[in-house]
Structure 1
Amino acid sequence: MVSLTLVRGDITEQAVDAVVNAANSSLLGGGGVDGAIHRKGGPEILAACRALRASHYGKGLPTGQAVATTAGRLPARWVIHTVGPVWSATEDRSGLLTSCYREALRVADELGAETVAFPAVSTGIYGWPVDDGARIAVDTVRSTPTAVREVHFILFDDNAFRIFEDRLSAS
């Protein structure tokens, strides 16, 4: 069974096998976690993402899918990019958010990654409520068969940390 750990901090500073990027579909960088990973990881990540766009993902990475690149100058070996859904009050997109975590773990298994750091996918600019995002993240990682030994949820602020902490202790 995978071990789950919460870290209050910066995902770009995590010394793990793979860091999960809450990417936008273009794979070319953006704001939030995506921008931070591209800035700190350096031009190698962007070059790898451009190569993916030129080959398999000409129209961008679909929501709920995941793909890996080098981690560039990050202390991780790989970056696993996944595109989370934008929150909607009128349409249930929770299956897409679940898919982000499941697909990232699948890619991690393909890479042989044993330690993976996840952000709280979609809970930033995409507007997903943190409490529901924590439920989906924790429940999906716990229920997905994987060879990954350790998952670290890297949470940027105290509020998200508390919400994830409550979720971990409740389940």
Structure 2
Amino acid sequence: MEAMPKKVKLLAVKGGITQQPDVMAIVNAANAHLTTGGGVAGAIHHAAGNDLYRECQDLAPIRPGNAVITKAYDLPNEYVIHCLGPVYGKNKPEDVVLAKCYRNTLRLAEKHKITSIAFPAIATGVFGYPLEEATEVAISTILEELPSLRHLEKIKFVLFSQADLDIYQKKLAEVQ
């Protein structure tokens, strides 16, 4: 008989994605070329240093829903998993593309035996995905994937504003 998956801790915190030393990997809400940009991508590239940019050059471009993994360099983590979320109103169906982004990120984490990961609110910034809808997709996709997770023990959502944190905490309270 196959062993039951261990309990994975899901939590949401307010903060910056680059200041999460308690996780092995952070997730970059990347652009297709994996370059520095605004928001999460800019913060991660700035904090990680030029070596991250150099490693990303060989991995780009990526398509919406895809994910790639790199070292974290000057960040307090071991890895950065870069995923490209959908541009709301353009990459249709948006919910399928966003779910694929989370699914591919979790599968890369499992492949690399990552035990803890921090996600930002993917695609909700300049890509325009409404936060409440994106939160629903993120959490439901992660819940669907939980039975297949063998290494992950902690999944953290790191939100920049109190309003965003409130939405994530409310949704997590509904499912836990």
Q: 8 Å contact 1:17–1:76 — kept in the other structure?
A: yes
Q: Show the counterpart of 1:44.
A: 51
Residue 21 (1) aligns with residue 28 (2)? yes
The share of aligned pairs that are identical, in percent, is 37
Kindly state the Cα deviation for residue 168 of structure 1 after the two structures are TM-superposed: 0.8
Q: Show the counterpart of 2:144.
A: 143
Q: 1:70 to 1:122 in 2, by over 3 A?
A: same
TM-score, with length taken from structure 2? 0.90
For structure 1, the residue ranges without an aligned partner over 5 or more in a row are: 54-59
- Alignment size in residue pairs: 165
Q: State the one-letter code of the partner of 1:152.
A: K
- Alpha-carbon distance between aligned partners in 2 of 1:90 and 1:76, rounded to the nearest angstrom: 31
Q: State the one-letter code of the partner of 1:164.
A: Y
Q: 1:18 to 1:90 in 2, by over 3 A?
A: closer
Q: Say which SS state the counterpart of residue 103 (structure 1) adopts.
A: helix
Q: State the one-letter code of the partner of 1:130.
A: L
- Alpha-carbon distance between aligned partners in 2 of 1:159 and 1:18, rounded to the nearest angstrom: 25
For structure 2, the residue ranges without an aligned partner over 5 or more in a row are: 1-6
Q: Show the counterpart of 1:128.
A: 129
Q: Say which SS state the counterpart of residue 155 (structure 2) adopts.
A: strand
User: Aligned to 1:154, which of 153, 158, 162?
Assistant: 158
Kindly state the Cα deviation for residue 89 of structure 1 after the two structures are TM-superposed: 8.5
Could you list the structure 1 runs, at least 4 aligned residues long, displaced by more than 2 angstroms after superposition: 89-92
1:108-136 alpha-carbon deviations (Å, 9 max, x no partner): 01111000000010011111111011111
Q: 1:70 to 1:91 in 2, by over 3 A?
A: closer
Where do residues 1-171 of structure 1 align in structure 2 (5 Å cutoff)? 1-15=7-21, 16-53=23-60, 60-88=61-89, 91-144=92-145, 145-147=148-150, 148-171=152-175
1:54-77 alpha-carbon deviations (Å, 9 max, x no partner): xxxxxx101101000010100010
Kindly state the Cα deviation for residue 38 of structure 1 after the two structures are TM-superposed: 0.1
Moved more, 129-138 or 80-89: 80-89
Kindly state the Cα deviation for residue 88 of structure 1 after the two structures are TM-superposed: 1.5
Q: Show the counterpart of 1:56.
A: none
Kindly state the Cα deviation for residue 90 of structure 1 after the two structures are TM-superposed: 10
